[in-house]
Structure 1
Amino acid sequence: MTLAGTPRTDRSQQSLVEPAIRELLDRLDAGNRLICGYQLGYWDADGTPATAQGKGIRPALALLGARAAGEEAVDGVPAAAAVELTHNFSLLHDDVLDGDTERRHRPTAWTVFGVGPAILAGDALIGLAYEALTDAPGGGPAVRRLAVDVRRLIAGQSADLEFEKRAQVSLDECLQMAGNKTAALLSGACALGALVVSAPAPLVDGLSRFGWHVGVAFQLVDDLLGIWGDPARTGKPVGADLRARKKSLPVVRAMTLGGPAGRSLSDLYGQAAPLGDDEVARATELVEAGGGRDWTEQRAREEIERAWAELDQLALPDEVHRELTDIASFITGRDH
């Protein structure tokens, strides 16, 4: 796998996982199939073929989980399909909850098809994710693991919404939210790939810990991009997280560190009026002045170093170790 651009530039991975997902989509009724395929980037709203897929990090980790156990990548396809479907289930619902109108440089599904249909399509995707695992040799343990990860993901999303209504959020609370919202599924991706090939528990656990640290780093970088990312690269409007008063990690760090910038940021977030462009620009300056950007960048590097340390404890094929390390490096260096 090459990470010159993003993990999805690996055509061999896509050629394994995409057909499996498309076969699963074909089990759906026509309406939900259309919306789900649109969400996955396989076609446009009228069914015209498209190429707007995501980065593919989670399915890549699942395939590597199977290879870490000495099996072929194809043996990890059920896990890879399941985590990609689960990820897009969460994105469909997340876009509705946040009112986001653009993802991957396209209108979000709910703006095209409606809120109700988008929610139901998300439900269809999570159902297909469990179906993808049921026929695998390690399907039973894998289904149980995915159920736990989905439960944690939902807890993280719930906390994220709750934080928008609270004046005070601690950094520990925010880190726990990030772990549940993002790290749980990335950790699960690594574990599921190993579970579906009945890998030994120490390997599953080690890969799971690696994925957890990668997932926390992913959310840290995502939060940075939510404030300072280039919309042409991220596919999201400038300052969307700040405009929505998201208690993201850079924001919470700046607020909890105190000082004039942190107090001013808290006051700005607390005002009743919607945040316009000037207020969003001011909030961006205050997060950086309050140390939120520097801390988040440093913490992301630390999480990746912890992920690498977990890998070093595992007896992995050299190529698998290298590719997992490459993904971890990509996480902190990405711009979208």
Structure 2
Amino acid sequence: MSVSYWNDAPPRPPAEVLAWSRALLDPALRAAVDEMPPATRAVAGFHFGWTDAEGRPAAGAAGKAVRPALALLSAAAVGGTAAAALPAAVAVELAHNFSLLHDDVMDGDATRRHRPTAWTVFGSNTAILAGDAMLAGAFEALAGGPAPAESVRTLGRAVLELVEGQSEDLAFERRAAAVPLAECLAMAGRKTGALLGAACALGAAHGGADGLRAERLGSFGERVGLAFQLADDILGIWGDPDVTGKPVHSDLRNRKQSLPVVAALASGTPAGDELAEIYRREAPLPDADAARAAALVEAAGAREWAARKADALRAAALTDLAAADPVPAAAGELRALAHLLTHRDH
């Protein structure tokens, strides 16, 4: 897509942007997966919804490809072309799905995108190795793009932050003492915000931006990422399973220290105290206790807090976006995408 399109055309709605991004991404993503060893290639194809468990062509959901869309739009926002940012888009999508494959094993999740998770079909070890192959493929995708050394450093830092955030998330579940809310917010920023920030920064760099504009867009992505995590945590408690693809109250049944839960536990309210008693139990919560926990989180004011915090982060992200002096049409699409990601349940 030419630079003149972004100067002249009105912003497209998010659904159209995501479809456009997916259409650009998929051929390059499939080509990257085709370079993997056969065993891990089969797992990747299943995970992306391209094949069934026997390797036959399928049409399963492959996710919205939000991170690639951010990379492509960030390139356009600085006056470049989406095609120039395609290596960055492939890299961030592979890195994201590396984390999903590993997360599903660590969390014991049996479904994702309304399908069985890869580890339940191929085994934990094979799914983990497929995730490792995706991460290697992510860095390989950047090797052929502009400024490969700096691009690899940007993605490497983001992956290290993501891994640290995931490690902290797991540690929080084992911690006997209460998790401070500020510490939980920092964890979520690493786990989710870092890679969205890298997607925007890499896209901007591939689009020809100087360091300051790429940094501003990276900050935009990080703030949107943390707001997205807040919205996702809301869905993890109150979301419709037909929409989320996960069982109702799944996060609460596993006593996950999600942001609304930590805010409720730190609220100093009777509801927060009762929730703490429930969370001190060892076994996964039965349905009745999980439903009671959801009601207590809301009664403690934590659902409203999470929604307000997501809104504030989105506003700060839009300030960062404006500071990058973006091309108007691409900026409009980035704003609309940010709204979509941060208003999923409120």
SS in 1 for 2:58: coil
Cα displacement string for residues 261-300 of structure 1 (whole angstroms, at most 9, x for unaligned residues): 1111011000234310011011001100111101001100
Partner Cα distance (1:7, 1:92) in 2: 26
* Correspondence for 1:39: 47
Partner Cα distance (1:50, 1:295) in 2: 38
Partner Cα distance (2:155, 2:167) in 1: 18
Q: What is the identity percentage for the equivalent residue pairs of Structure 1 and Structure 2?
A: 50
* CA 2–95 in structure 1, closer or farther in 2 if over 3 Å, else same: farther
Contact 1:141 1:195 in 2 (8 A): no
Paired residue type of 2:38: A
RMSD: 1.5
* Correspondence for 2:128: 119
Partner Cα distance (1:182, 1:138) in 2: 25
Contact 2:79 2:207 in 1 (8 A): no
Partner Cα distance (1:4, 1:307) in 2: 17
Contact 2:158 2:195 in 1 (8 A): yes
SS in 1 for 2:51: coil
Q: Which runs of 5+ in 2 are unaligned?
A: 1-10
TM-score (norm 1): 0.96
Is 1:53–2:53 an aligned residue pair?
no
Is 1:316–2:326 an aligned residue pair?
yes
* Correspondence for 1:144: 153
Partner Cα distance (1:6, 1:55) in 2: 11
* Correspondence for 1:131: 140
Contact 2:80 2:208 in 1 (8 A): no
For this pair of structures, how many residues does the alignment match?
334
* Correspondence for 1:16: 24
Partner Cα distance (1:6, 1:219) in 2: 23
* CA 151–246 in structure 1, closer or farther in 2 if over 3 Å, else same: same
Give the C-alpha shift of residue 5 in structure 1.
4.5
Contact 1:79 1:189 in 2 (8 A): yes
Alignment equivalent of 1:249, drawn from 253, 259, 264: 259
Is 1:76–2:85 an aligned residue pair?
yes
Alignment equivalent of 1:195, drawn from 196, 205, 208: 205
Alignment equivalent of 1:30, drawn from 26, 32, 38: 38
* Correspondence for 2:344: 334
* Correspondence for 2:279: 269
Partner Cα distance (1:15, 1:276) in 2: 42
Give the C-alpha shift of residue 198 in structure 1.
4.2
* Correspondence for 1:156: 165
Give the C-alpha shift of residue 55 in structure 1.
1.2
Partner Cα distance (1:2, 1:231) in 2: 29
Q: Which runs of 5+ in 1 are unaligned?
A: none
SS in 2 for 1:257: coil
| Greater Cα shift, 273-282 or 229-238 | 273-282
Contact 1:6 1:330 in 2 (8 A): no
Partner Cα distance (1:68, 1:272) in 2: 49
Cα displacement string for residues 70-118 of structure 1 (whole angstroms, at most 9, x for unaligned residues): 1111100000000000000000000000000010000000001100000
Asked which structure has the greater RCO (Cα within 8 Å, sep 6+), the reply is 2
Paired residue type of 2:223: H
Contact 2:82 2:207 in 1 (8 A): no
* Correspondence for 1:65: 74
Cα displacement string for residues 39-73 of structure 1 (whole angstroms, at most 9, x for unaligned residues): 12222222223241111110000001211221111
Paired residue type of 1:293: R
| Greater Cα shift, 91-100 or 194-203 | 194-203
Is 1:225–2:231 an aligned residue pair?
no
SS in 1 for 2:266: helix
Contact 1:6 1:55 in 2 (8 A): no
Contact 2:14 2:333 in 1 (8 A): no
Give the C-alpha shift of residue 27 in structure 1.
0.8
Partner Cα distance (2:283, 2:110) in 1: 21
Paired residue type of 1:317: V
Alignment equivalent of 1:281, drawn from 266, 285, 291: 291
Paired residue type of 1:38: F
TM-score (norm 2): 0.93
Alignment equivalent of 2:95, drawn from 86, 96, 101: 86
Paired residue type of 2:238: W
* CA 169–86 in structure 1, closer or farther in 2 if over 3 Å, else same: same
